[in-house]
Amino acid sequence: MLDTENYAVILRSEAETLNLGADLATHINAPLIIWLQGDLGAGKTTLTRGLLLALGHHGAVKSPTYNIVESYSFAQFNVNHFDLYRFQTPEEWLDAGLDELIDSNSISLIEWPLQGEGYVPEPDIILNMMTIAQGRQVQFIAVSDHGKQTLAPIIK
């Protein structure tokens, strides 16, 4: 049985964070909702950058803090990178029409998902990221069967 409640990995550098994102990219398929939780500077956007670069994105990948969402189109699916840090109320999810971006052909990476609590779709995977003395620690939690299938090859 896959034990995702207690699985964590330590990432000692930005390169290792990018590599984890790239590894995740090789195992994802739509539809998929990933919550990225962690304090400022915990590596959420860096992990997303690694994922997008591995999928073939050739531009800058920045945190969508001011835009709320950055969308990327690939042949196999779309990736929507949400950042809800600036939300004042959870209802802003609806006000911004973000539900329209969640469909059967999308991967959604949602930073600060609890800022949209009650409106943000439930995750398949939660990645809890924290800064520690050795670098960063990422805890993997598979919430759905699809999340478990996605994480199984990563959590060896």
Q: Where are the domains of the chain?
A: 7-151
For position 91, what pLDDT does the model report?
95
Give the C-alpha distances (Å, rounded to integers) separating 35 from 58, 110, 133, 134. 24, 5, 24, 23
CA dist., res. 51 & res. 48, Å (int):
5
Query: Is the model's pLDDT at 138 over the cut of 90?
Result: yes
CA dist., res. 146 & res. 89, Å (int):
30
Looking at the chain, list the stretches that DSSP marks H as alpha helix, in order from N- to C-terminal side.
Answer: 14-25, 44-55, 92-95, 145-151
For position 112, what pLDDT does the model report?
95
7-151 placed in CATH 3.20.20.70: no
Query: For residue 149, how many C-alpha atoms fall within 13 Å in the half-sphere facing its CB?
Result: 8
For the chain, what is the mean pLDDT? 91
For position 40, what pLDDT does the model report?
86
Average pLDDT (29-57) is: 94
pLDDT bin (cut points 50, 70, 90) of residue 1 is: very low
List pLDDT tens digits, range 44-102: 999 999 999 999 998 888 777 778 999 999 999 999 999 999 999 999 999 999 999 99
Q: What is the pTM assigned to this prediction?
A: 0.92
